[in-house]
Structure 1
């Protein structure tokens, strides 16, 4: 199994607690984390509960997202050694978009900057 497949099959529920820990350690809230996730994907609180409960994998998480935010294309920079705007695989790019937004949240960026307003 290559890295792509491994990420695709990883459950969102297995990574979510790490997102929470990362932002809370830096003084941000779960609500802010959810705002970022919902902005990017179009999901809502009830959707997220179901995704976590049903251990939905990253591939399905992004494939079934109600609406990827049109401004996601404005997310640029390096995450995990890759330039997010240059990642060719669509799902992997979306995973890295989410990583980048969570990093920005944890680094204390203002919400309007994170949400590309």
Structure 2
């Protein structure tokens, strides 16, 4: 079975789209970074290293060894698919992150996005 092309795309190529999506709705790059750090457990420095290295999305997720356990509380639809029903683990993690950025762009409070 061939991998989905998102796996081989660099996270650095997707990241600016996350930031643009947020900024168009009056949110900030700092909020995007906070969400990514909350989700992955990466420090800001580790996030920036992955961006500089142009780490592929699959590796970016796999190397996030401190994925936030509260991510399992993320529910809803992204790309027409319920994120909680996605069976392939890496794809589910990628879609969880997409869903968090969508929530940010829709104006949801950070406390709710971060499931606190």
Structure 1 residue 44, shift from structure 2 partner: 1.3
Instruction: Work out the number of aligned pairs and report it.
Output: 116
Partner of 1:97: 96
TM-score relative to the length of structure 2: 0.96
Q: Quote the Cα distance in structure 1 between the aligned partners of 2:62 and 2:35.
A: 18
| Superposed displacement of residue 115, structure 1 | 0.5
Name the residue aligned to 1:39: 38
Q: 1:14 Cα shift? A: 0.5
Q: Provide the rounded CA distance (Å) in 1 between the counterparts of 2:112 and 2:104.
A: 10
Superposition CA RMSD, Å: 1.1
* Shift >2 Å, 4+ stretches: none
| Partner of residue 59, structure 2 | 60
1:62-102 deviation per Cα after TM superposition (whole angstroms, max 9, x unaligned): 10003000000000000001100000011100000000000
Q: Deviations over 1:31-53 (max 9, x none)?
A: 11111000000011111111111
Q: Which residue of 2 aligns with 1:48?
A: 47
What stretches of structure 1 of length at least 5 have no aligned partner?
Answer: none
**Match for residue 106 of structure 1?**
105
Partner in structure 2 of residue 77 of structure 1 = 76
SS in structure 2 of the partner of residue 22 of structure 1 = helix
Q: CA deviation at 1:5?
A: 2.9
